[in-house]
């Protein structure tokens, strides 16, 4: 079931939010196609919000943690904001030092998507014009949010009139203890990956490395905090986990809280999962206070900067082709 209610006024327009409900309730704001809350039953059947979020439109659009938003055109970093496509070199906006991050200065997270209710799904549409943030092609994007039972599915669709790059993700920050609990270090995580991408000092991936015998081994469930402060060059660079895992299976990851009993399973058709432990959260986020490591993200995507590494699957969307990718977040209790 989908219900709609007034939320806030943004740039002179009234913005409604949409609640998708079945066994879980998911609240969505069209700005940035942002997910504002995911309320799921805990082990006692009490609904708990497990998603960090903002409270006002202006904050949602502005916050540099991309909290709950769809990120695009390309998630993550592109080295020096440069790439070559069909022999043409392109320069994207450099909004993170010399790199391009999460779509540039005005990414999808700041755009007002057009909402339409389609049965039990909410469609959010956006047109991104040719040249926006340096990307070629007029791109049409549709994000479909659906709730069925205890599953929340995100489908991304897109098409462009010129060959372009497209690598969307959803920047959800979870704390399975409950969003205001303050720390995710006791959340237990398992990731279906034998390897991850090491990064340089600017968090640009350099090469694949085995997770075995490193703090990056999440092949068996372990608390996020177990190894996060180990002396490890890669953890030191990022101040915790902020790395892409190379997925072996469409059951990408799972996580659970021993406090609330809430379990999360992540399914995706993407090859990469950016596991980010909120290392750059710094207290005040709009009116909410979210300290460092109070939320974790499992951002499904192509490998970051893949366009500059031809051995990796390329996030290229050809003119006239249809892009579709799907990630599902499924909740249960222990
Ligand atoms: C990135 C972090 C970045 C954060 C911004 C994450 O997806 O991996 O490096 O700082 O987004 O909030």
What pLDDT does 328 receive? 98
| Mean pLDDT score, 44-52 | 97
**pLDDT tens profile 71-127:** 999 999 999 999 999 999 999 999 999 999 999 999 999 999 999 999 999 999 999
Q: Tell me, using a 6 A CB cutoff, whether residue 299 lines ligand 1.
A: yes
The per-residue pLDDT of the chain, averaged, comes to 97
What pLDDT does 286 receive? 73
Q: Could you tell me the distance, in angstroms and rounded to a whole number, from the CA of residue 171 to the centre of ligand 1?
A: 9
Confidence label for 246 from pLDDT (cuts 50, 70 and 90):
very high
| Mean pLDDT score, 9-16 | 94
Q: Tell me, using a 6 A CB cutoff, whether residue 199 lines ligand 1.
A: no
What pLDDT does 213 receive? 97
Confidence label for 276 from pLDDT (cuts 50, 70 and 90):
very high
**Cβ atoms < 10 Å from Cβ of 218:** 24
| Mean pLDDT score, 1-15 | 94
- Ligand 1 mutation target, pool 273, 276, 295, most atoms within 8 A of CB: 276
Strand duo 77-78 + 100-101: pairing: antiparallel
What pLDDT does 45 receive? 96
**Residues with Cβ < 8 Å from 35, sequence gap 6 or more?**
26, 27, 28, 51, 53, 68, 69, 145, 170, 172
Q: Is the pTM value of this prediction over 0.95?
A: yes
| Mean pLDDT score, 188-207 | 98
What pLDDT does 146 receive? 98
Q: Tell me, using a 6 A CB cutoff, whether residue 331 lines ligand 1.
A: no
**pLDDT tens profile 215-234:** 999 999 999 999 999 999 99
| Mean pLDDT score, 314-329 | 98
Q: How many CA atoms lie within 13 A of 272 on its CB side?
A: 26
Q: Tell me, using a 6 A CB cutoff, whether residue 242 lines ligand 1.
A: yes
Catalogue the active-site residues: 171, 299
Q: CA-CA distance, 174 to 310, in Å (whole number)?
A: 33
Q: Tell me, using a 6 A CB cutoff, whether residue 66 lines ligand 1.
A: yes
Q: Which residue puts its alpha carbon closest to atom 6 of ligand 1?
A: 276
Confidence label for 284 from pLDDT (cuts 50, 70 and 90):
confident
What pLDDT does 292 receive? 96
Contact between 128 and 70 under an 8 Å Cβ cutoff? The reply is no
240 upstream amide cis, omega within 30 of 0: no
């Amino acid at each position: 079931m989908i219900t709609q209610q007034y939320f806030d006024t943004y740039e002179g327009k009234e913005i409604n939010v949409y609640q998708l409900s079945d066994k879980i309730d998911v609240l969505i704001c069209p700005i940035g196609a942002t997910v504002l809350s995911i309320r799921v039953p805990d082990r006692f059947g009490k609904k708990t919000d497990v998603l960090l979020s903002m409270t006002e439109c202006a904050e949602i659009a502005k916050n540099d943690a991309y909290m709950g938003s769809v990120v695009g055109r390309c998630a993550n970093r592109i080295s020096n904001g440069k790439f070559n496509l069909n022999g043409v070199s392109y320069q994207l906006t450099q909004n993170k030092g010399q790199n391009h991050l999460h779509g540039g200065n005005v990414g999808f997270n700041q755009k007002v998507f057009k909402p339409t209710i389609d049965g039990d799904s909410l469609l959010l549409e956006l047109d991104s014009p040719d040249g926006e943030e340096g990307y070629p092609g007029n791109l049409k994007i549709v994000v479909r949010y659906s709730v069925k039972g205890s599953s929340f599915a995100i489908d991304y669709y897109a098409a462009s009139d010129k060959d372009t790059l497209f690598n969307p993700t959803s920047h959800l920050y979870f704390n399975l203890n409950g969003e205001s609990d303050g720390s995710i270090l006791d959340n237990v995580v398992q990731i279906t990956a034998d390897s991850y991408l090491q990064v340089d000092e600017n968090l640009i991936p350099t090469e694949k490395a085995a997770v075995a015998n490193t703090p990056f081994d999440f092949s068996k469930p372990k608390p996020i905090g177990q190894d996060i402060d180990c002396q490890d060059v890669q953890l030191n660079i990022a101040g915790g986990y902020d790395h892409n895992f190379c997925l072996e299976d469409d059951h990408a990851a799972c996580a659970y809280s021993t406090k609330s009993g809430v379990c999360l399973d992540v399914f995706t058709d993407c090859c990469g999962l950016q596991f980010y432990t909120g290392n750059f959260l710094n207290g005040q986020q709009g009116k909410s206070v979210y300290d460092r490591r109070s939320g974790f993200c499992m951002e499904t995507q192509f490998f970051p900067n893949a366009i500059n590494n031809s051995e990796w699957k390329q996030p290229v969307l050809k003119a006239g082709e249809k892009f579709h990718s799907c990630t599902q977040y499924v909740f249960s209790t222990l």
